[in-house]
Each structure stands twice: as C-alpha cells, then as structure tokens.
Homo-oligomer: A and B are copies of this chain.
C-alpha cells in the first residue's frame, strides 16, 4: 500500500501544490496525519498563545488521483482511521461559541485508551473522525482552517470509518488532502477545538466521470448529507436546503413546492461547527428517499 508521511504537509488547498503521491482509482493509500496543532503541544504547560500558528491545521498530501478531471466527482472511501493514544484540547480567549466571555487560555492533554477519552474522571467514547478533508479549489489558495465547496475544515463527526465522501473535482488529479483528526467532537465544536490527535487514515478513491456535485456529499450507512457553509448558520442552511430540494425534484419529478414540503418532513438540518470563520451545516436525508445520482449533474451548476 502506498503511504504518505506526515512530513508531506501543506497549509492550503490549492491547484498549485506538487503532488506528494499518485494513485489510481480503487488503489488503497495510507496518510499519516499530524494533529491540528502540528504536534507543538508537548504538555499542559505549553502556552497555546505562543504556538507557531503557521504550523497549525496542516493537511497531509496532496494526493494526485489519476484520471480525475474538472467536472468529475471524487468518491473518497474511508477504509480506516487509527488514532494515537493521547489527544489535546484547548480553549483560547476570543474563540468559540462563548468568545465574548472572559476566560483564560488552557490546554488539556487527555489519554485515549480502551476506546475512551479520559477527561479527568469523565469518560467519553471515542469516535475517530477526519475534521479537514478536501480537494484543490479551481483557483487560488484556500487556507486549511476554512471550508467551502472543495471541502476543507468541515468538522463533520460522521466523516469516519465506513463513510464515503463525494467531492467536486476542480483541478486535474483532484489534489486531495486530509488532516485535523479528532478522537471525539460534538456537533458545534463549541470551544473551537475537539480532542485533537495524530494518527493515520486509509482511503480509496473512485471517480464519477462527467458527473458533478455542487457541494460535498457524505454517504453513511443510511443517509446522504449535503455539507454546506456560510457566514452564518442560517445562510449555510439555505444552501443545504436548496441542494436537497433540487435533488428531490430530480429524483421524484416533483415540483419545487412539493420537494420543499417534503424537505420539512424528512431532512434534518444539523450543525457541524459554529466556531470557524465560515459556519458549517449538513442537511441529512435517508437514502430511501434519494440517490446519489440525483445530487449529480453534468458540468458545473452553481
């Protein structure tokens, strides 16, 4: 199996990066991931405000997928996620949902063992997930701390072993990369960090030729989720609902009005994170009501 070392790290999603590795559709690849703090937090005495902030939110890659071209969709299958045995959580003044409250910077190092994160006397079941995952955008450099139609720092807790993530391809070879592993994170990521941890992920890629999605689509066992973002949660919700309504119209040959009604009954609008410059939500719909094909279209439509 091909392997990309954690030393192959970039801090933006960009069509200008040189590939760290090349794979074909169906070929397994393992990426080593550093934690979101770039491994700089050695212990609880580390002053979080003195980190080298040019070395945070790194993603391993990019991986060039043979035959992936602009206008295709890249299907990323998450075969496995393995975690190190210690994680780091931090609160940082002026960050998170309660950024307007006065509080101090604090770092906590937590052991991960037996399938649990040990937070003092409290135990929290591990859910290994990939916080940042995406492809190169069409132009420019997207910092890995943000998110968009190319993916990025989406912080979706279902991006884990067994899931498939569909991403629009904007650049030749897609230039895929991932980072920001979390041992556990709740919807919202309220304090701005989760249990940040290093580890490794095993992936395979497939290509839906000539089919395009407008936003990242996540497939889990029972559901599809449209992953959108906006300057507010409210704006992100409107993008997500619009995309689901279009898919339901295509799937069932319903009018806009019927699809809009049905969305109100079966599509859960969920919060991913509310603490990054762009807020992220997902619109979740059971697979029995829609197929991935109904989210796809020929060429770009946004």
Binding site for B on A (CB under 8 A): 89-91, 96-98, 100-101, 103-104, 106, 108, 117, 119-120, 122, 124, 184-195, 232-234, 237-238, 241-242, 245, 252, 254-258, 260-271, 274, 279, 281, 283, 289
Contact = CB atoms under 8 A, between A and B. Distances in A.
A74 B192 CA distance: 35
B98 A241 contact: yes
A184 to B, nearest CB: 5
B260 A190 contact: yes
Given A108-B261, A233-B233, A238-B97, A267 B188 contact: yes
B103 A260 contact: yes
A182 to B, nearest CB: 9
Contacts of A122: 252, 262, 289
Copies in the complex: 2
B263 A186 contact: yes
Pick the most buried of A263, A264, A270: most chain B CB atoms within 10 A of its CB.
Answer: A264
Contacts of A265: 89, 117, 119, 124, 184-186, 194-195
Nearest to A263: B190
A123 to B, nearest CB: 9
A187 B269 contact: yes
Nearest to A102: B256
Contacts of A193: 261, 264
Contacts of A283: 188
Contacts of A195: 265
A120 B190 contact: no
Contacts of A257: 91, 103-104, 106
Contacts of A120: 252, 254, 258
A124 to B, nearest CB: 5
Contact of A274 (B101, B237, B245, B289): B237
A191 B193 CA distance: 33
